[in-house]
Structure 1
């Protein structure tokens, strides 16, 4: 549910829908600052912000902040634009075959990693700590394998929206997240 009033204290319209004061959303100033930096970097074709940086962006949660889904959707579009520009620059510098070769190499590394047996694809957390649910991660891993090996449909947005519940002795989050990021890179590279 968003507030019907969509202006901030200064009277200017916010960039995104704002959640009610009871709900949490992304801190407005943090989002506006980051997207302003991204816009400047993109328009000036400056180095310093990449598609991976856009994907890794995170913002504090506060009451009355920006609607999370709206910001995440915008970030996905911005990431796609940066990825397309990065691909064009790489193709211009090294040629299309080098770009495709890198994407194939990355895809093969992902397939090699996911060829491990179910329940053993990633390191596990300790007995008293939580990690991603093994069965849920393995299910997503199968979808990624079917995409890379068999050509089944899979979009970067589907991978971005992947979320896992937690369990004791689950898969280590940072390893799973790194593989999902690599998968998104491959998906963006072959678009």
Structure 2
């Protein structure tokens, strides 16, 4: 989930062809090998910690007013400084009026959806942070739609949705096993072809019916790992699923 400039927001431009996208996979690898932050296992003995010190090191501690729990010190979580800084930027955007949203410096719904945080030991628990990001993405998408319609009119918005839908359906209508690229190396890992195709079939059924599609179906999708020709390239699948969520939110 790399950050883009506000100029590439969904409210500003039609969705690009997925083949041309170059985004990082959302399944960021957890540090643990070379270069991982060190954690000393042999700390010198000291007197019993005070109540204040104990509270400061508890997993449930809070930082800088953020209401996110931290994981235990030996586990990996999101870097609190990165999370707090990013959410401060989102708050600054949401403090603007809907009319000024497109010209406001900061982030849009796509940047929220694609954001990846570094991992540190004892960091924020990822689950509640991810849930909060989903809420912010929904709110920003709603405001971006309002701002676009206010400036360009509802007809331009409908044209934008139609173009986006045609781009996505073009890939969804491809045969099973041919929807995304295969890895260039024979032993490279990726997403199971069968798992991805099952989700694509469900998305296609929803788009062809009048039933609204819950973005959670796509956001929380988990694909098994496979190797070589039995898998799709992760980055391309992630980029496509991001565009699907973008369209789901735009249609609401």
TM-score scaled to structure 2, two decimals? 0.69
Residues 1:6 and 2:61 are matched in the alignment: yes
User: Where in structure 2 are there 5+ consecutive unaligned residues?
Assistant: 1-57
* In 1, Cα distance between equivalents of 2:127 and 2:62: 19
Q: Which secondary structure state, in structure 2, belongs to the residue aligned with residue 18 of structure 1? A: coil
When residues 14 and 6 of structure 1 are mapped into structure 2, their CA distance, relative to the original with a 3 A threshold, is farther
Q: 1:111 aligns with which of 160, 163, 169?
A: 169
When residues 5 and 110 of structure 1 are mapped into structure 2, their CA distance, relative to the original with a 3 A threshold, is closer
Check conservation: 1:26, 1:61, Cα contact below 8 A: yes
- How far apart are 1:7 and its partner, in Å? 3.5
* In 2, Cα distance between equivalents of 1:81 and 1:164: 27
Give matches, 1:16-165, under 5 Å: 16-44=68-96, 45=101, 46-125=104-183, 126-165=185-224
Corresponding residue number in structure 2 for 1:180:
241
Structure number, greater radius of gyration: 2
Check conservation: 2:172, 2:179, Cα contact below 8 A: yes
Compare 153-162 and 132-141 and name the one that shifted more. 153-162
* In 1, Cα distance between equivalents of 2:115 and 2:236: 18
When residues 47 and 4 of structure 1 are mapped into structure 2, their CA distance, relative to the original with a 3 A threshold, is closer
TM-score scaled to structure 1, two decimals? 0.90
Q: Which secondary structure state, in structure 2, belongs to the residue aligned with residue 89 of structure 1? A: helix
* In 2, Cα distance between equivalents of 1:183 and 1:62: 30
Check conservation: 2:62, 2:69, Cα contact below 8 A: no
* In 1, Cα distance between equivalents of 2:181 and 2:60: 47
Between the two proteins, the alignment pairs up a number of residues equal to 186
* In 2, Cα distance between equivalents of 1:168 and 1:63: 30
Residues 1:190 and 2:242 are matched in the alignment: no
Check conservation: 1:15, 1:32, Cα contact below 8 A: no
Check conservation: 2:89, 2:106, Cα contact below 8 A: no
Relative contact order, higher structure (CA 8 A, sep 6+): 2
User: Where in structure 1 are there 5+ consecutive unaligned residues?
Assistant: none
**Structure 1, residues 46-82: CA drift from partner, whole Å, max 9, x if none?**
1331100011111112221111110000001111111
* In 2, Cα distance between equivalents of 1:5 and 1:154: 35
* In 2, Cα distance between equivalents of 1:25 and 1:98: 42
